[in-house]
Structure 1
Amino acid sequence: MLKIEIFQDDVKINTRISPGKEGKPPRTIREQDAYAHISGRFPTLMKLQVEEGQPPYEAGVYTVHSSSFVVNNFGALELKRFGQMIEPLELEL
């Protein structure tokens, strides 16, 4: 299971503006830093997109929510490009 960790220092939303292309309006991107425990000794910094009006995720350990996956046109499992969610991970004692 993929472990995603948010530290207390990262309980904040970073906002940036992506300029519009081909006449489209600019887009506001809201992100929160998190760390994915993929492989190796240290976790890897990643960005979680946060929806407008959604508070930042609290410090803790999470995993990817099942609603964040889709089956693509080729029948393979993949993560959604937008609308990914995480949920608290219950750690074994």
Structure 2
Amino acid sequence: MLKIEIFSDSKTTTRTIKGKDGKADRSLQEQEAYAYLGGKFPTQMKLSIEEGQEPYVAGIYTVHSSSFIVNNFGGLELKRFGMLIEPVELEL
């Protein structure tokens, strides 16, 4: 299981991508999180937040199964856009 942690002081930022060929600019909102990839320390990452979506609250999450696809070669991949995470229920 991939563990993703969001801290209470997690920052959210808005990034604007300039439109090409007469298309309108797009704004993307991102939230700071940390992924535990097996090293000594977690790796900082950014989670995309959909328009109108509240930022994720502090806690431990994992990638939701709907965020994966099977590619044209039969391999498993993480979707490029629309990744969802879900809270992990900690065992006591």
TM range (shorter): over 0.9
RMSD after superposition: 1.1
> Match of 2:18, as an amino acid?
P
* 1:3-38 Cα distance to aligned partner (Å, 9 max, x none): 00000000x531111111233221111100000000
CA distance in structure 1 between the aligned counterparts of 2:53 and 2:66, rounded to whole angstroms: 17
Q: Which runs of 5+ in 2 are unaligned?
A: none
> Match of 1:7, as an amino acid?
F
CA distance in structure 1 between the aligned counterparts of 2:22 and 2:73, rounded to whole angstroms: 32
Cα offset, 1:92, TM superposition: 3.0
User: Which runs of structure 1 show a deviation greater than 4 angstroms over 4 or more consecutive aligned residues?
Assistant: none
Structure 2 partner of 1:5:
5
Identical residues among aligned pairs (%): 68
Q: Which runs of 5+ in 1 are unaligned?
A: none
> Match of 1:41, as an amino acid?
K
Cα offset, 1:75, TM superposition: 1.1
* 1:46-81 Cα distance to aligned partner (Å, 9 max, x none): 000000010000000000000000111111110111
Please, what TM-score do these two structures have when normalized by structure 1? 0.92
Residue 35 of structure 1 aligns to a residue whose secondary structure is: strand
CA distance in structure 2 between the aligned counterparts of 1:77 and 1:47, rounded to whole angstroms: 21
CA distance in structure 2 between the aligned counterparts of 1:36 and 1:84, rounded to whole angstroms: 14
> Match of 1:76, as an amino acid?
G
CA distance in structure 1 between the aligned counterparts of 2:35 and 2:91, rounded to whole angstroms: 18
Confirm whether residue 72 of structure 1 aligns to residue 47 of structure 2: no
Structure 1 partner of 2:45:
46
CA distance in structure 2 between the aligned counterparts of 1:60 and 1:91, rounded to whole angstroms: 10
> Match of 1:9, as an amino acid?
D
